[in-house]
A and B are shown apart, each in its own frame.
Chain A
Amino acid sequence: MIMFLIRKILWATATLAVASVLVFATLEIIPGDPAQVMLGINATDEAIAALRQDLGLNKPVLERYFSWIFGMLQGDFGNSYTYSVPVNELVADRITISLPLALLSLLLSTVIAIPLGLYSASRRGSLADTSIMALSQVGIAIPNFWLALLLVYFLAIWLQLVPAGGFPGWDAGFVVALKSLLLPTISLALPQAAILSRITRSALLETLGEDYIRTARAKGLSTGATIWKHGMRNAMIPVLTILGLQFAYLLAGTIIIENVFYLPGLGRLVFQAISLRDLIVVESVVMMLVATIIVINLIVDLAYLWVDPRLRHRSA
């Protein structure tokens, strides 16, 4: 167990290190000059030179890399070129949107998908099953930004039920804020739910084919009890995997949705930062995301151990 954790954490750090090099290197070759962008087209060369000096863009590559790394190790992610405020602050702002959004979507998709998946697995071949699966097929195929488009058009513009986008900030009142996250959540959640429900179904069907299910039946357990006590937990493993992946995706992969609803979230922060060549922001945020994803994977691994004692044994 301890060994397992230590090994995992070692690998995680190694991964992070490699990732940091990758990120930094990629952004080194990215064309475009932040100073230039900030000062605009009529800026004089000396003004730009002066600004580059201020931003420390003239230092040698290695020096900048290491100062970046060591900064991060001390929790200092540098200052945004364009906003000239600490990246931490920026991220802190944005995370209050991205995180709830991700969590809400995950929650929504889970509460939709798992029951549906279990239901159609237990009613395999029934009309309900086939229609749910047909729906999920479509659900998987719908690009979330298209769904978002339609939702905005019908619910926000046509029916005027919810704001079409934007985020008033949590201090504008919990309900108000939540309302503005409603559509984004739905458009993110539904396609995910479609995938999740299929996984759940097939995972459960897989386990229901196992010998120990027959054993349980032979013990006199009812179908329901068998599924509940002997099917579910064993079926959780693939579901957990997908949940992990989906959370990671939702945290970072929401750029497009954030753009549709002009939510000031992490994804959009990076997106803007890239176009403004606010490299330090891009680097730091991407690194944070990578770190988060790694942590999520770690949690998922631990969840495996909780679910499946055999792994505990193997990874002891």
Chain B
Amino acid sequence: MTGFFQTAMRNRSFATGFVITAMVVLMAAVSFLWTPYDVTDLDISAKLKAPGWSHWFGTDHFGRDIFSMIMVGARNSIAVALVAVIIGVGIGVPVGCWASARGGLLDEALMRGNDVIFAFPALLSAVMITAIFGPGAINAIIAIGIFNIPVFARLARGAALSLWPRDFIMAARAAGKNKTRITIEHIVPNMANLLIVQATIAFALGIIQEAGLAYVGLGTQPPLPSWGKMLNEAQTMMSFAPHMAIIPGLAIVITVVGLNLLGDGLRDVLDPRLVRKRD
């Protein structure tokens, strides 16, 4: 593992991505134990302070410390995006593998199910879902996660299909192993690279989507801050408190860039071409 890590760090985009992501994650982690100020504590008298010594990133319209909010917001963005990815992988991959292993009607059915989800305008549907079940982090996660499922299902199925005819799968079958076992022992490990890369990408997308939902007021709810919500609140104050709009935006961009670089890096390092995607 360490060996892998060293080789990986020689890849520029992986290194950069890793550092950025690590920083963001660290920030989020620290925010559990310590933030410069309490983000739930409003100090109206100290509102709209420009970035400075007492408040590195300034304060918002409630006098909350934006740096602290960014820290806690990172926690929230990561949590939402991560769980959404986990949902996608956790449901999508088994479905994809199952479909490719069984083939025939089941395969058709499952993949059509995918198409149905695919046919829905993702963001719009996410809005619908959150509107129905009420805004909040959990529902945002579900709304985003659902549309991760078909992505991973297709990926897994494609990869698995290209693996099944391989000789070493044949050999495993000649050793009397059943499809489930083969899937676990041979198929999944060999598509892991693809999955990891796709996961980081989905993760990055998730963060943007969460920001979008929060921006239209359907994401995480107060008192917990979220980057998207901060942007929404900042809009009308751009002219006299631009830092409120610029800082959360940058936070999103930097985080997503970090994750994408990480993904690209992983792609190069792990070379997922090992199994060619086909669908």
Contacts and interface: CB of A to CB of B under 8 A. Distances in A.
B172 interface: no
Contacts of B124: 252-253, 255, 267, 270, 286, 289
B94 interface: no
Interface stretch (A84-92, A115-123, A142-150): A142-150
Interface in B108-155: 112, 115-116, 118-125, 127-129, 131-132
Contact of B256 (A11, A14, A15, A140): A140
Contacts of A251: 121
Interface residues of B, number: 38
Interface in B196-218: 204, 208, 211-212, 215-216
A249 interface: yes
A252 B112 contact: no
A140 B129 CA distance: 25
B261 interface: yes
A275 B128 CA distance: 10
Interface in B208-237: 208, 211-212, 215-216, 228, 231, 235
B131 A15 contact: no
Majority SS at the chain B contact face: helix
Contact of B252 (A18, A141, A290): A141
B121 A293 contact: yes
Interface stretch (A22-30, A59-67, A105-113, A178-186): A22-30
A143 B208 contact: yes
A256 interface: yes
Interface string B56-72: 00000000000000000
B257 A138 contact: yes
A146 B252 CA distance: 10
Contacts of A223: none
Nearest to A22: B116
B20 to A, nearest CB: 11
Contact of A252 (B118, B121, B212, B249): B121
A214 B38 CA distance: 64
B231 A19 contact: no
Contacts of B212: 143, 145, 256
Interface in B230-279: 231, 235, 238-239, 242, 245, 249, 252-257, 260-261
A274 B124 CA distance: 11
A157 interface: yes
A275 B131 contact: yes
B131 A253 contact: no
Interface string A246-280: 00110111011001000000010011001100000
Nearest to A154: B238
Nearest to B115: A15
Contacts of A274: 127-128, 131
A137 B257 contact: yes
A294 interface: yes
A275 B127 CA distance: 10
A101 to B, nearest CB: 14
Contacts of B256: 140-141
Given A251-B121, A256-B216, A290-B120, A11 B112 contact: yes
15 contacts: A15-B116, A19-B120, A137-B261, A141-B204, A141-B256, A145-B212, A150-B249, A157-B239, A251-B121, A252-B124, A255-B127, A256-B212, A274-B128, A286-B121, A293-B120
In order of increasing CB-CB distance, the 4 nearest A-B pairs are A252-B121, A141-B256, A146-B249, A253-B123
Interface of B: 112, 115-116, 118-125, 127-129, 131-132, 204, 208, 211-212, 215-216, 228, 231, 235, 238-239, 242, 245, 249, 252-257, 260-261
Given A248-B121, A286-B120, 14 more contacts: A140-B260, A141-B255, A143-B212, A149-B249, A157-B239, A249-B121, A249-B123, A252-B124, A256-B215, A270-B124, A274-B128, A289-B124, A293-B120, A297-B115
